[in-house]
Amino acid sequence: MRFDIVTIFPEFFGALDVSLLGKARQAGVIEVGLHDLRDFTHDRHRTVDDTPYGGGAGMVMKPEPWGEALDSVVREDSVIVVPSPAGHPFTQREARELSTREHLVFACGRYEGIDQRVIDHYADRNEVREISLGDYVLNGGEVAAMAIIEAVGRLVPGVVGNPASLTEESHEDGLLEYPSYTKPALWRERAVPAVLLSGHHGAVAQWRHEQQLERTRRVRPDLLSPDLLSTDGSGEST
Ligand SMILES: COc1cccc(COC(=O)c2cn[nH]c2)c1
């Protein structure tokens, strides 16, 4: 898989050189291209924004630099991701979907956003996804793009050493994950739930599923649908 990122702050993505994604890049499992939007301007001040038609506060990102920048990286099979407060909510399901695609192009907007004609132009040619990480506003798309790249990148085969660890995570089965414990068995007078020390794998699986349901009911009742309310460990509806 290849990620191309267009931004006015390419240095922001230096973090992609470290940790998991850094190793995956060295292994060639994923490629990352960084592109400075200002390299696609032609005036002395390398201008990327201007005042909004119709008036109002703030500035809008000009269409010309974006057109030249995206033309230089977008392929026929590219999915263009635009992190935006006006996007649809990002989920683990979408992360899984995106992890199966060959080429993701991230358009990191700033200011009040990108001239709408850029989105409309590329939506005629490519899949364009305006994605929100949550109902709050950041100064630009870079932080959101980093989060999406990590959520997607870690699902790409070969990036995470033990793929089994990807299945027992929050949101993988539609529920929040169960609480985890490790040694010591007693810590500040707090013991580990006895069932986890019992060696009885069936009882452990049942307890973990019950914990997932309880935690999801308590913290994220919005995630629960009737078929997820089953109580046996299978996750099948009863
Ligand atoms: C594309 O135009 C803009 C304009 C303003 C900010 C941003 C950055 O994204 C967010 O703020 C965001 C993403 N998910 N939740 C918030 C993009």
Q: What is the pLDDT of residues 62-98, one digit of tens each?
A: 999 999 999 999 999 999 999 999 999 999 999 999 9
Tell me the two tokens of residue 16: 């992609």
- Tell me if 119 CB under 6 Å of ligand 1: no
228 is in an annotated binding site: no
Give the chain's mean pLDDT. Answer: 93
- Tell me if 82 CB under 6 Å of ligand 1: yes
Cα→Cα distances 6→10, 106, 156, 227, 233, Å: 8, 6, 21, 42, 45
138 is in an annotated binding site: yes
ipTM of the complex: 0.97
